[in-house]
Amino acid sequence: MPDIERLVNDFVAKLSKRKVEGSQATSRLTAELLRSVVSLQRLPPTNSAAVLIEAVRGIGVKLVAANPVELAVGNIVRRVLHIIREEDLSLLTSKTSDLALSAASDDEGTIDQDYDPTQSAAAAAAAAKSFLRPPSLHALLENMLDKAVPSNNYTSSSGGDSEEKSKADKLARTRKLKHDVIEAINILIEDIDTCHELIAEQAVEHIHQNEVILTLGSSRTAFEFLCAAKEKKRSFRVVVAEGAPRYQGHALAKELVSRGLQTIVVTDSAVFAMISRVNMVIVGVHAVMANGGVIAPVGMNMVALAAQKHAVPFVVVAGIHKLCPSYPHNPEVCLNDMRSPAELLEFGRFSNCMEFGMDSGAPLQVVNPGFDYVAPELVSLLITDIGGHNPSYMYRLISDYYSADDFDLQGRIHK
């Protein structure tokens, strides 16, 4: 059985060497790694959730440091930490409820005046509302079976038997915590795998007959969204900006044509000239920030400004795993990725320019950023796998999917 350290080091090497890129691929592999970590991690009978949280957080810091550009890695680490806290609280609430029921049954018909069933139910309802994900059918059935088994709450005459029973209960709770966390991570992985399909199902609500849609770059989410509208017998045209210098728009245009969509390819500099004829801009992004702004392929801010100038809706399609609880001004957020100058200038020409620049005293510098930041006021709508939202609603989604204690992974480690 592979040990945790070797699994982590292998994935860190892949991230640092960029053998794994893209939000969906990194998210899924991160979730799978953390699932293995939870399964292999040895936990003490007491305080098991805290030990598991510290182990996952320590691994998360290593993963984020391996490639800070892939913000989705940190998102998944925080999601798993939130899952652990949620499942631990769920077990604690269930145990407290069982103890209250046992105390009531042992009272032989006498009613404790200090016990208020209404207040207890209200507290349980309030706790349930704070959970992001409702318990699965499997977990509900397990809880029903556990409660159906009568428990002997009478004090044993032997202190050793009482200690053994207490230790067995703690071990059973630790095993159930692991089981519930792994089950929740499995659901998270399934959500990552199906995010494109869930987003694409909403396409017919936003794309209408004979519209002109503009997009930039090559996003699988945007591609599936457009193709889903085509499958619903919607006739529309797609204008694809080529996305220099990597020209990912060329590949997207070929895929759209192969699926029967009317496609027009334009240069990035022609976007402003074309935007007045466009009904909507639909794009995929790299990450969604806590303020509703997005990190997207380079050139996207220009498209968003042109859309705002001509009052064209700027719609972003992104899976919820791309939602980052950090703000753009946070120092730990890597907003950009400087790519190789060779994408802009061939090595031979670059070398000649460098030599000429050195002789003239003005060396040539080539800057090739990979991403743009688009402010939230330029975004009209964010469509995720759980529905469409205004950028100002991101704070609410963050409170549902993340715990405030996990926002700063690095800071918590050094405390």
175 and 206 assigned to the same domain: no
Q: Considering the entire predicted model, what is its pTM? A: 0.81
The pLDDT assigned to 287 comes to: 96
pLDDT score for 52: 95
Report pLDDT digits (tens) over 263-293.
999 999 999 999 999 999 999 999 999 999 9
User: What's the average model confidence in pLDDT over 147-174?
Assistant: 64
- Reading the block at residue 203, the tokens are 């396409």
Crossing angle of helices 23-40 and 4-16, in 10° steps, is: 170
At which of 174, 194, 214 does a domain end?
194
Instruction: Give the pLDDT of residue 367.
Output: 87
- Are 190 and 206 found together in one domain? no
Map residue 85 onto helix, strand or coil.
Answer: helix
CATH number at residue 231: 3.40.50.10470
184 and 216 belong to one structural domain = no
Q: Residue 242 corresponds to which amino acid?
A: E
Statement to judge: residues 183 and 287 lie in one domain = no
Asked whether residue 153 carries a pLDDT value surpassing 50, the answer given is no
Side-chain half-sphere CA neighbours of 92 within 13 A: 11
Are 187 and 209 contained in the same domain?
no
* End residue of a domain, out of 146, 176, 194: 194
Which of 116-125, 170-179, 346-355 reaches the highest mean pLDDT?
170-179
Give which of 82, 42, 83, 76 is closest to 59, Cα–Cα: 76
Task: Find, among 319, 323, 283, the residue nearest to 190 by Cα.
Answer: 319
Inter-axis angle of helices 23-40 and 159-200, nearest 10: 170
Q: Does 186 share its domain with 217?
A: no
Residues 215, 68, single domain; the answer is no
- Residue burial 370-389, b: 16+ Cβ < 10 Å; e: rest: ebbbbbbebbbbbbbbeebb
Q: Looking at the predicted structure, is the pLDDT value of residue 50 above 80?
A: yes
Q: Check whether 107 has a pLDDT greater than 90.
A: no
Say what the pLDDT of residue 137 is: 46
Q: How many residues in total does the chain contain?
A: 415
Which is more confidently placed, 409 or 39? 39
Do the beta carbons of residue 229 and residue 315 sit within 8 Å? Answer: no
Give the pLDDT score at 333: 82
Instruction: Dig out the tokens for 28 from the structure.
Output: 């899924």
> Are residues 223 and 360 located together in one domain of the fold?
yes
Residues 189 and 207 in one domain: no
In this structure, the answer to whether residues 187 and 230 fall within a common structural domain is no
pLDDT in tens, 51-101: 999 999 999 999 999 999 999 999 999 999 999 999 999 998 887 766 666
Q: Are residues 161 and 235 in the same domain?
A: no
Taking each helix axis from N to C end, the angle separating 71-105 and 117-130, rounded to the nearest 10 degrees, works out to 170
Expressed as residue numbers, the domain containing 48 is 2-194
Q: Is the pLDDT of residue 161 over 90?
A: no
Residue 407 has pLDDT above 50, yes or no: yes
Parallel, antiparallel, or unpaired for β 287-288 and 381-384?
unpaired
Q: Are residues 385 and 409 in the same domain?
A: yes
Contact 184, 133 (CB under 8 A): yes
